[in-house]
Every structure is written in C-alpha cells, then in structure tokens.
C-alpha cells in the first residue's frame, strides 16, 4: 500500500528562526505515528504545514498523493486536526459543536448524529452530549475534540499534544482511545507529544529536536539504539580489590567507580545470574536498568528533555545558540 | 455550495451564542436606554438647541441612539473574530474545506442579524420619546439599520483582520468607534458646523444612516427639512455603497490575513 503521508525536505523559517530544518519521513495507512520532542522542537509547525495552515518555506508534502500546498481544498476534506489548545466553543453544547463540525464537512444533522453516537459512547460522553462544553473537565474536552476530529472520517487525524496538561489516568485513557480508533477506522493518526513515555504507544516515533528528526523507528528499536541494558551493582568496599578478577571471569570490564559498578550488556536477564555467581556475597545491591526513551533522547541530543515550558533564560540561550548556528 | 454552508454555520453559531448570553441581551437594550435617559435628558435641559425645529430633543436624539446601538453591536461583534481566530472555533473552520471568504461573510451576516434584532427592540420604545411609528416606518427603519449594520460589520472585520490580539480593541473603540458616533449627527444637528467638522461628518458612513432614519421618523415638511442634511435617496445610496464596499474589502482582507 502506498504511504499516506510523504514529507520531503520540509523547511519552515519565521524570519531568522528556522523552526523546521529539512525534515523527511513517510507514514503508512492506519499507522499511529508519533512526533516526540521538547517544546520548541518544531512539532506544531510541522503539523500546521501538513494541515494546510502554514505554507512551507521549501520542501514537498503529500497526503494520499495530494500536494498539500497546491491542493489545499482537497486535502482539507480528508484530514482532521485536534489543535494543541482546545478549539471547542464552550458556550455551546457538545452536540452543537459536533453538529457544526458535521455541517462544515457537508454532513446532515442526522448523519452527524449517527456517526457521533458510537464515538461519544466510546469516550464515555454520550450522556453529557447536551451539556454546555464550559461545564466539561479538561479531559472531557479532549475526548470530545477527538470525537469531533473523527466525525468526517478523515484519512489522517493530526493530534497536537492531545494529552498535555492532563492527569496520568486521563492521559492513558486518551491513548487507549487513540489506539482503538486506529484499529476500527481507516485512519492514520499523527500525534505529537513531549512526554517521553508516551512515544511507547506509537507504532513508530520520530524524535525531533531543534527542527530536525534525530531518529525515527519503533520504540523498541529506538531503545536498542543505546545498544545496551545496564546491570548496576553496589559491592562491599572490602571486596573491591577483587574487581580485576571478576572482570576476568566475566570476560568484560565494569564501568563506574568505587563500590558502584555498571555492567553493560545486551541481555541483562541472563548476565545478572552470572554476576551473582561470580561476585556472590560481596554484592550489596543489584538492579537492572533498561533504557527508556528519555535515555535515548539524552543519548541522541546530549540533553535531558525539558518538562513543560523552557525557562526564559534557557530560551534565550537556545535562541543565541541557534543564531550562532550552534 | 460549500461556501453557503460555511456562511450558514458561522451565522447560526453567532445567533446561538447570542441567545445563550442573557446579560449581553439586557445590556444591548439597557445601554441605549441609559443614553436616552441620562445624556438625552441632560442635554435637553442644559442647552438650548438651534435647528431642531421645535422637535423635542429626545425625539431628535432617538434615531441617533438607535444607530449608536447598531454601531457598537456591529463593531463589537465583528471584532470578536480576533478572539475566535486565536482561541477557538475559527481555527476549526480554517482547517475545514470551507473557504475563508465564507467566514467573513457569515460573521458579518450574524453580526448584522443581531444588530437589527436589537434595533427592532429599541424602536419599540419610540412612543416613550413622543414618536409614533407606523408599521411601514418601522420596517423601513429596520431596512436602513440592516444596511448600516452590514457596513459597520464590514468595517469591524476589516480592522479585525489586521489585528493579532484583542489588545488593540480599546484603541479601536477610542479612535474609531467613538469618533464615528460623535461625527454622525446622532447627538446634534449637522447644520451650521465649522467646515472642517462638517467635512469629517460627511465621510462618516454612520451620518447617512442616521440621516436616513430621520427621514423616516419625521413627517415631510419644515421639520424634516430642518433636521436632515441629504435626500433619502442619497442616504440610502451611500449606505448601500459603503456596505458593499466594506464587506468586499473586509472579505478580501480576511482571506489574505495570516492564519492562526
Ligand atoms: N508564528 C511564528 N513566528 C515566529 N516563530 C515561531 C512561530 N511559530 C513557531 N515559532 C518558533 O518555531 C519554533 C518551533 O515551534 P513549535 O513548532 O511550536 O514547537 P513545538 O510544537 O515542538 O513546541 C519555536 O522556536 C517557536 O518559537
Ligand atoms: Mg507545539
């Protein structure tokens, strides 16, 4: 099957700021594709270009074979977008919001209702459909926006940070819905997040930093980029002089200093028993550390991903670094 | 086809939101009433007016106040497009297949409908200031108000399409809306003004709306000649032309404005 989204060498400049710096990727039909990166990485800018809201500075964009820049109207018919900030009209009821959406896409009220009901049922809002949206919680609004984005059965649904600002339980609910709908509908989901752990929910994830994709793969493969798991152990100080002997017997050196030793391996589960055999009672504590996407990000960029917004000073430094071309 | 649907959606939403806000409805009628009672009575007792031809001042001011309420409501409603574009519903519409022109037109029609409804309610109060309205006059005045509202909604959208945030709203109120109001002849007759003031009054589109309303309120005769400045035909032509021009220009401007 041909790819549903194709992006080639996408660039977007705002004056001197280069928000997106030569990005290429493609997304298959029915895939849940993630865009992971810290605030300011260029995720929203990329989505806006794909969703016809921003014209790229250069590069090529296709959705279902349509040229996104030249065939805007056609593209708009087959995409849905849930913005980073809520765009519901909170003085209207949920149903009225959905009805207006349906009308914008040429659906009769009856048809909109027929499509909305099972979706509202799925996200648990069916009994609140006639309440004003202003009475909704943040999580309910998000779920309603998800439903609204699906009413016109788009081929691609863009979700820009759908879980930002929500509590962990609601976040995991939203992700369940996202996965469910990609199975039940012929919809490709393109989702961005700056929560590292959330990339686990995607089939493939692009890690974005400073407007560039630094890695793109399944979460499993991304973690293998680090090439190792770690066994971390603390041993008795009195036994430390034996370290060279242990290393001989294990056929591999430890890293780490003092009583804290790190053993890098591809199969921590198997090696941990060997270590216990070799070092035995001199071990005080032992733990296995599998890489998280957080580690992958750190490995790829040399930085910790920043939670929430960058501080003003950091933003300045960032700005300076970019202007100097880093 | 899809454009018509878009216009309909934007228009309908505007009305739905309006009826959901009772405070706004009350305010819309209370404000002109307040102007009539406080400003009107104050001026009527404080000054001797030349050129009102013996008509009592409240009756003179009444058409002006109706026009004022249409002016405020139209501009305010059109300006909310800035808010909508940044924070809400309009972003939704901008990604839909509905052409942008439909948004501007739908918004203008929505704002016009609300302004005319407001005018219709205020006009019912006419007997209170000693004006008796016949049905023909009543609907004639609503027609004039609709034209005026269209023009002013066009103006509001034109300004809004150039604005990034609601921060400029106060500036627009002070340097656009208030001058339009004071220069329109709503509060004082246009005749016998210094030339520079008269010139400014003549480029204010609200002037022609107010003038047209006065044509409909007063019976033909000496009073009418004293209180109106242009012929009814001139008034209607200018208002209509302004409405068409401003709606067209604002639609184009909105089309070209940066998306959110
Ligand atoms: N309209 C704009 N004008 C100027 N700079 C912008 C604009 N939109 C985004 N940027 C800049 O582009 C960069 C990427 O922003 P964005 O795409 O919103 O990042 P993300 O969604 O990953 O947090 C940031 O440095 C941001 O300040
Ligand atoms: Mg963003």
* Domain containing residue A171: CATH number: 3.40.50.300
Q: How far is the CA of A42 from the centre of ligand 1 (A)?
A: 6
A15 touches chain B (CB under 8 A): no
Atom of ligand 1 lying closest to residue A42 CA: 17
3-state secondary structure of B53: coil
Contact between A272 and A286 under an 8 Å Cβ cutoff? The reply is yes
B3, closest residue in chain A (CA to CA):
A104
Identify the residue whose tokens are 């989204």.
A5
Is A93 within a domain? yes
CATH of the domain at A234: 3.30.70
Q: Copy the structure tokens of residue A266.
A: 């591809």
End-to-end CA distance of chain A: 40
- Listing DSSP states for A257-285 in one string gives STTEEEEEES-HHHHHHHHHHHHGGGEEE
Identify the residue whose tokens are 């016809």.
A52
CA distance A150 to A318: 37
Residue A142 sits in the same domain as residue A42: yes
What are B132-183's pLDDT values in tens digits? 888 889 999 999 999 999 999 999 999 988 887 777 878 887 889 999 999 9
Q: Which residue's CA is minimally distant from atom 7 of ligand 1?
A: A14
Asked if A53's CB is within 8 angstroms of B260's CB, the reply is: yes
**In angstroms, what is the C-alpha Rg of chain A?**
24
Is A26 within a domain? yes
Residue A278 sits in the same domain as residue A252: yes
> Which residues is B208 bridged to in the sheet?
none
Number of A–B residue contacts, CB under 8 Å: 60
> Which residues is A192 bridged to in the sheet?
A35, A160
Residue A212 sits in the same domain as residue A242: no
Residues of chain B with pLDDT below 50 are 259-260
List CB contacts (< 8 A) between B2 and chain A.
106
Q: How far is the CA of B81 from the centre of ligand 1 (A)?
A: 23
pLDDT tens across the length of chain A (326 residues): 689 999 999 999 999 999 999 999 999 998 999 999 988 999 999 999 999 999 999 999 999 999 999 999 999 999 999 998 889 998 899 999 999 999 999 999 999 999 999 999 988 999 999 999 999 998 999 999 999 999 999 999 999 999 888 888 888 888 988 888 878 888 999 999 988 888 889 999 999 999 999 999 998 888 877 767 888 889 988 888 888 899 898 888 888 888 888 888 888 888 888 888 888 888 888 888 888 888 888 878 776 665 444 444 445 554 544 444 33
CA distance A272 to B248: 76
Q: A 138-197 residues with CB below 8 A of B? A: 148
Asked if A87's CB is within 8 angstroms of B87's CB, the reply is: yes
> Domain residues for A255?
228-289
A94-104 vs B2-19: helix crossing angle, rounded to 10: 160
B6 touches chain A (CB under 8 A): yes
Atom of ligand 1 lying closest to residue A161 CA: 21
Residue A174 sits in the same domain as residue A212: yes
Q: Is B117 left (phi over 0), alpha (psi -120 to 50) or beta?
A: alpha
List CB contacts (< 8 A) between B260 and chain A.
53
Residue among A296, A294, A317, A316 at smallest CA distance from A306: A294
A89, closest residue in chain B (CA to CA):
B89
Residue A112 sits in the same domain as residue A190: yes
Ligand nearest to the CA of A45: 1
Ligand nearest to the CA of A321: 1
Pocket test for ligand 1, best of A13, A20, A41, A42 (most atoms within 8 A of CB): A42
Residue A161 sits in the same domain as residue A273: no
Q: Copy the structure tokens of residue A102.
A: 């349906």
Atom of ligand 1 lying closest to residue A211 CA: 14
Q: Smallest CA–CA separation between B20 and chain A, in Å?
A: 7
Is A72 within a domain? yes
Residue A63 sits in the same domain as residue A165: yes
- Tell me the pairing of strands A32-36 and A204-209: parallel
This prediction's pTM: 0.82
Q: Smallest CA–CA separation between A310 and chain B, in Å?
A: 22
Is A305 within a domain? no
Q: Which residue's CA is minimally distant from atom 25 of ligand 1?
A: A40
Residue A205 sits in the same domain as residue A273: no
Q: Which helix (H) or strand (E) holds B114?
A: helix B100-123
Residue A66 sits in the same domain as residue A30: yes
Please, what's the b/e burial string for A199-237 (b: 16 or more CB within 10 A of its CB; e: otherwise)?
A: bbbbbbbbbbbbbbbbbbeebeebbeebebbbbbbbbee
Residue A69 sits in the same domain as residue A183: yes
Residue A76 sits in the same domain as residue A111: yes
Q: A 33-92 residues with CB below 8 A of B? A: 51-54, 73, 76-77, 79, 81, 83, 85-89, 91-92
Q: How far is the CA of B179 from the centre of ligand 1 (A)?
A: 39
List CB contacts (< 8 A) between A96 and chain B.
16
- Tell me the pairing of strands A188-193 and A156-160: parallel
Contact between A181 and A115 under an 8 Å Cβ cutoff? The reply is no
Is A314 within a domain? no
Q: What is the pLDDT of residue A308?
A: 42
Pocket test for ligand 1, best of A45, A301, A305 (most atoms within 8 A of CB): A45
Residue among A230, A312, A238 at smallest CA distance from A282: A238
Q: What is the pLDDT of residue A271?
A: 87
Is A302 within a domain? no
Q: How far is the CA of A46 from the centre of ligand 2 (A)?
A: 9
3-state secondary structure of A60: strand
ipTM associated with this complex: 0.82
Residue A205 sits in the same domain as residue A270: no
Dihedral of alpha carbons A285, A286, A290, A291, sign: positive
Query: Which residues are in the CB-under-5-Å shell of ion ligand 2?
Result: A 43-44, 84
Asked if B97's CB is within 8 angstroms of A76's CB, the reply is: yes
Q: What is the pLDDT of residue A147?
A: 93
Is A304 within a domain? no
Q: CA–CA distance from A123 to each of A110, A159, A174, A231, B141 (Å)? A: 20, 16, 8, 42, 51
Q: Copy the structure tokens of residue B163.
A: 């604005």
Of the partner residues B5, B94, B97, the one whose CB lies closest to the CB of residue A77: B97
Q: What is the pLDDT of residue B240?
A: 97
A89: CB partners within 8 A, 6+ apart: A96, A97, A100, A133, B13, B17, B88, B89
Residue among A289, A280, A297 at smallest CA distance from A194: A297
Cα torsion A4, A164, A96, B1 to 10°: value is -30
3-state secondary structure of A287: strand
Q: Smallest CA–CA separation between A140 and chain B, in Å?
A: 16
CA distance B244 to A302: 60
Question: How far does Cα B6 stand from its chain's mean position?
Answer: 24
A132, closest residue in chain B (CA to CA):
B20
| Residue ranges around ligand 1 (CB below 6 Å) | A 14, 17, 19, 37, 39-45
Is A319 within a domain? no
> Which residues is A191 bridged to in the sheet?
A34, A159
As for how many domains chain A has, the answer is 2
Q: What is the pLDDT of residue A304?
A: 64
């Amino acid at each position: 099957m041909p790819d549903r989204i194709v992006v080639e060498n996408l660039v977007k400049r705002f004056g001197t700021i280069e928000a997106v710096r030569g990005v290429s990727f493609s997304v298959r039909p029915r895939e849940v594709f993630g865009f992971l990166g810290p605030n300011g990485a260029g995720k929203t800018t990329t989505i806006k270009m794909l969703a016809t809201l921003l014209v790229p500075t250069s590069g090529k964009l296709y959705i279902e074979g349509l040229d996104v820049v030249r065939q805007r109207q056609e593209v708009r018919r087959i995409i849905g977008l849930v913005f980073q900030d809520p765009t519901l009209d909170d003085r209207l009821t949920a149903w009225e919001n959905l009805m207006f959406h349906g009308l914008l896409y040429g659906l009769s009220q009856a048809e909109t209702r027929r499509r909305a009901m099972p979706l509202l049922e799925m996200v648990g809002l069916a009994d609140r459909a006639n309440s004003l949206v202003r009475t909704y919680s943040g999580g309910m609004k998000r779920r309603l926006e998800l439903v609204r984005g699906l009413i016109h059965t788009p081929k691609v649904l863009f979700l820009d940070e759908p879980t930002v600002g929500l509590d962990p339980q609601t976040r995991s609910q939203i992700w369940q819905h996202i996965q469910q709908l990609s199975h039940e509908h012929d919809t490709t989901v393109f989702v961005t997040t700056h929560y590292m752990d959330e990339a686990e929910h995607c089939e493939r994830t692009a890690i974005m930093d400073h407007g560039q994709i630094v890695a793109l793969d399944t979460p499993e493969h991304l973690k293998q980029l680090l090439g190792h798991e770690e066994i971390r152990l603390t041993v008795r100080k009195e036994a430390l002089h034996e370290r060279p002997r242990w290393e001989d017997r294990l056929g591999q050196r430890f890293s780490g200093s003092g009583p804290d030793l790190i053993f890098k391996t591809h199969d921590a589960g198997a090696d941990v028993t060997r270590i216990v055999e070799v070092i035995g009672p001199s071990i005080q504590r032992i733990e296995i550390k599998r890489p998280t996407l957080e580690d992958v990000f750190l490995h790829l960029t040399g930085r910790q991903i920043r939670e929430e917004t960058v501080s003003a000073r950091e933003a300045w430094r960032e700005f300076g670094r970019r202007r100097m071309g880093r | 086809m899809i454009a018509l649907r878009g216009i309909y959606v934007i228009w309908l939403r505007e009305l739905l939101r309006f009826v959901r806000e009772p405070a706004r409805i009350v305010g819309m009628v209370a404000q002109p009433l307040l102007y009539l009672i406080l400003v009107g009575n104050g001026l009527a007792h404080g000054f001797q007016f030349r050129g009102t031809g013996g008509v009592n001042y409240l009756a003179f001011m009444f058409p002006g106040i109706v026009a004022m309420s249409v002016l405020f409501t139209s501009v305010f409603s059109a300006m909310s497009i800035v808010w909508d574009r940044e924070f809400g519903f309009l972003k939704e519409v901008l990604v839909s297949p509905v052409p942008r022109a439909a948004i501007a037109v739908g918004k203008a029609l929505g704002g016009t409908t609300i302004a005319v409804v407001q005018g219709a309610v205020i006009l019912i109060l006419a007997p209170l200031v000693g004006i008796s309205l016949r049905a023909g006059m009543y609907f004639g005045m609503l027609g004039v108000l609709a034209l005026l509202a269209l023009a002013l909604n066009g103006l509001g959208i034109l300004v809004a399409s150039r604005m990034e945030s609601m921060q400029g709203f106060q500036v627009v109120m002070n340097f656009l809306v208030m001058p339009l109001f004071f220069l329109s002849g709503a509060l004082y007759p246009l005749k016998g003004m210094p030339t520079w003031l008269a010139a400014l009054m003549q480029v204010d589109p609200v002037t022609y709306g107010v003038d047209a309303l006065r044509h409909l309120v007063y019976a033909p005769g000496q009073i009418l000649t004293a209180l109106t400045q242009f012929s009814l035909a001139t008034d209607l032509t200018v208002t209509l032309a302004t409405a068409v021009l401003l709606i067209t220009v604002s639609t184009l401007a909105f089309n070209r404005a940066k998306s959110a």
